[in-house]
Chain A
């Protein structure tokens, strides 16, 4: 137990990867993180000298799509080394241990690596009714998060659940599903939203932490700038069709076949910050828009409450589900027109006398002017 821990590089080699594979992985990661070519060296160096990060990965109100996505990262080393049992000290879905053993592993890690372990959270935390809606080993998710965060080095909130609350927190949010950053305030927290987040974005975030020993640059909403500073719309390959005003009108029309822009069938690309159009999914194969489906805006806060998915304008809160701002506007516009017409009629009836007076006034004035000047 007390021998010097293996470096990440050594673990990678032990897993059977060649040095060449390892270097390829490092340059791959450097490209995702967005550091210049000379920075590849620092990743290599970090991997060669640092031992693995102690990591605890929690699963609360979630569907495990973040973990699933992570497994499909474009380079196998990511899943093999970072996610495999060697790097994870505790994760409900993948660990072999169960019950008391699992809890013990968690406690041990938290004790042994006090202030050093990385805490990854997948899923939101229910706070309603003292958090009874999600309990593990007899403890509520709320308490687990608070305890584990206490001595964590940093926290990564995986996915829209841990970052914003996602579907559990959609109206009326019966369990009080809450994102991690609204519960924990005194720790660095990185939000990596998406439903799920892109595997390479997840890997890139971890590798960055590993390499530079500090959290990546975050935007105002706590997301790594490298991956979330551009809208899907800004990098979308269908953008030329948008600018040309060539839109898909319905999913089975000629325009859809031609691959026109999906704006009118509800594409949320213009309001969604993510790297889907650049890094893409499943080893760079495709992303929703490339497959002919509008972006749902899954990495944006409250995207479930801003539907329907397949129309540009959201339904207006408080009115029917299909009612948009335009429907309300048209209604008010017509009401105004009716009001104006009624007013015009009433003016002519009620003010006949006054108008006549004005007319007389002018006649008198005009006569005076003619006579006077």
Chain B
């Protein structure tokens, strides 16, 4: 009973959003790998003197470099949430309206738990995804706050030192490190689910979800 419909191209992700997305992804991959190495450096047996090598320092440098890019990119995205197109706006992320909560339930029921049979499709982020990204944004913020909090101990620059209140506030250096390290796993698990669901949506709905973050277009059924 397929109804013949012609797919319509619709421009969903603006260049700024796509740029943010991939820069953010690159930063997170870098931060996760370097962060993991900082927490669990591999055993290297070497008879050389310390003065001939600096690899651990380099790993940390990359972590901090990526951290700065990540942070400013994130600030940019917050700004874009106010000036971007309707798919980029902040109200996609924070479910304040009743319909958004209804949609969250529908997505949960149909896509995630797979107990409902009525398919449901939204064009941009669906409300559940949007809400998940909102939580991710909070974790970004948390990771930046704890990261810069730790960093303020090793820097005289003004930006990290805006965060010097963090360590006492969050219960001391031990605790901050612990939380910052634990959140690494949030990013890993988020990435697993995120990538899987992008493939899932593309597969089930055939709207080009995967490529949309490259070209910006999605393809929706003409009614």
Given known contacts A313-B39, A350-B114, A362-B206, is B45 in contact with A245 (CB within 8 Å)?
no
User: Does A10 reach chain B (CB closer than 8 Å)?
Assistant: no
Across the interface, B55 reaches (CB within 8 A) one of A245, A263, A333, namely A245
Across the interface, B57 reaches (CB within 8 A) one of A243, A272, A336, A357, namely A243
Q: Which residues of B contact A344 (CB under 8 A)?
A: 196, 200
Q: Which residues of B contact A358 (CB under 8 A)?
A: 204-206
Q: How far is the CA of A364 from the CA of B4 in the complex (A)?
A: 6
Q: When each residue 36-61 of chain B gets 1 if its CB lies under 8 Å from chain A and 0 otherwise, what string results? A: 00011101111000111111110100
Q: How far is the CA of A240 from the CA of B53 in the complex (A)?
A: 9
Smallest Cβ distance from A321 to chain B, in angstroms?
A: 15
User: Does A67 reach chain B (CB closer than 8 Å)?
Assistant: no
Q: Which residues of A contact B43 (CB under 8 A)?
A: 247, 249, 264
User: Does B185 reach chain A (CB closer than 8 Å)?
Assistant: yes
Smallest Cβ distance from B89 to chain A, in angstroms?
A: 29
Check A361–B206 contact: CB distance below 8 A: yes
Check B178–A326 contact: CB distance below 8 A: no
Q: How far is the CA of A73 from the CA of B138 in the complex (A)?
A: 50
Check A242–B2 contact: CB distance below 8 A: no
Q: Which residues of A contact B44 (CB under 8 A)?
A: 245-247
Q: How far is the CA of A306 from the CA of B176 in the complex (A)?
A: 12
Check A340–B173 contact: CB distance below 8 A: no
Q: How far is the CA of A306 from the CA of B171 in the complex (A)?
A: 12
Across the interface, B50 reaches (CB within 8 A) one of A241, A332, A343, namely A241
Nearest CB in chain B to that of A268: its residue: B174
Q: Which residues of A contact B55 (CB under 8 A)?
A: 244-245
Q: How far is the CA of A363 from the CA of B174 in the complex (A)?
A: 59
Smallest Cβ distance from A335 to chain B, in angstroms?
A: 9
Check B168–A329 contact: CB distance below 8 A: no
Q: Which residues of B contact A361 (CB under 8 A)?
A: 2-5, 7, 206, 221
User: Does B215 reach chain A (CB closer than 8 Å)?
Assistant: no
A interface, by DSSP: helix, strand, loop or mixed? helix
User: Does B177 reach chain A (CB closer than 8 Å)?
Assistant: yes
Nearest CB in chain A to that of B60: its residue: A243
Instruction: Tell me the A343-373 residues at the B interface (CB within 8 Å).
Output: 343-344, 346-347, 350-351, 354-355, 357-362, 364-365, 368-369
User: Does A191 reach chain B (CB closer than 8 Å)?
Assistant: no
Instruction: Tell me the B12-51 residues at the A interface (CB within 8 Å).
Output: 39-41, 43-46, 50-51
Given known contacts A346-B114, A351-B204, A365-B7, is B181 in contact with A313 (CB within 8 Å)?
yes
Across the interface, A355 reaches (CB within 8 A) one of B51, B52, B171, B203, namely B203
Q: How far is the CA of A240 from the CA of B59 in the complex (A)?
A: 14
Smallest Cβ distance from B81 to chain A, in angstroms?
A: 28
Q: How far is the CA of A330 from the CA of B39 in the complex (A)?
A: 14
Check B114–A336 contact: CB distance below 8 A: no
Given known contacts A243-B57, A346-B114, A369-B6, is B204 in contact with A329 (CB within 8 Å)?
no
Q: How far is the CA of A332 from the CA of B189 in the complex (A)?
A: 8
Nearest CB in chain B to that of A349: its residue: B114
Instruction: Tell me the B147-198 residues at the A interface (CB within 8 Å).
Output: 153-154, 164-165, 168, 171-175, 177-178, 181-182, 184-185, 188-189, 192-193, 196
User: Does A104 reach chain B (CB closer than 8 Å)?
Assistant: no
Q: Which residues of B contact A313 (CB under 8 A)?
A: 39, 178, 181
Across the interface, A325 reaches (CB within 8 A) one of B1, B6, B182, namely B182
Check A329–B185 contact: CB distance below 8 A: yes
Given known contacts A240-B50, A245-B41, A355-B204, is B174 in contact with A297 (CB within 8 Å)?
yes
Smallest Cβ distance from B7 to chain A, in angstroms?
A: 5
Nearest CB in chain A to that of B52: its residue: A244
Check A328–B41 contact: CB distance below 8 A: no
Q: Which residues of B contact A254 (CB under 8 A)?
A: 45
Q: How far is the CA of A357 from the CA of B184 in the complex (A)?
A: 40
Check B185–A231 contact: CB distance below 8 A: no
Smallest Cβ distance from B54 to chain A, in angstroms?
A: 5
Nearest CB in chain B to that of A245: its residue: B56
Q: Which residues of B contact A355 (CB under 8 A)?
A: 203-204
Q: Which residues of B contact A244 (CB under 8 A)?
A: 50-57
Check B184–A329 contact: CB distance below 8 A: yes
Given known contacts A271-B177, A297-B174, is B41 in contact with A333 (CB within 8 Å)?
no
Q: Which residues of B contact A368 (CB under 8 A)?
A: 4, 6
Across the interface, B40 reaches (CB within 8 A) one of A220, A326, A336, A346, namely A326
Smallest Cβ distance from A369 to chain B, in angstroms?
A: 7
Q: Which residues of B contact A246 (CB under 8 A)?
A: 44, 46, 50, 53
30 pairs of residues in contact across A and B, judged by CB atoms under 8 Å: A221-B168, A231-B153, A244-B55, A244-B57, A246-B44, A246-B46, A247-B41, A254-B45, A260-B50, A271-B174, A297-B174, A300-B173, A303-B174, A312-B39, A314-B174, A316-B182, A325-B185, A328-B185, A333-B185, A343-B112, A343-B114, A346-B114, A357-B2, A358-B206, A359-B206, A360-B2, A361-B2, A361-B7, A365-B7, A368-B6
Please report B residues at the A interface, Cβ cutoff 8 Å.
Answer: 1-7, 39-41, 43-46, 50-57, 59, 112, 114, 119, 153-154, 164-165, 168, 171-175, 177-178, 181-182, 184-185, 188-189, 192-193, 196, 200, 203-206, 221
- Give 5 new A-B contacts, CB below 8 A, not counting A240-B51, A297-B174: A271-B172, A312-B40, A314-B174, A364-B2, A364-B4
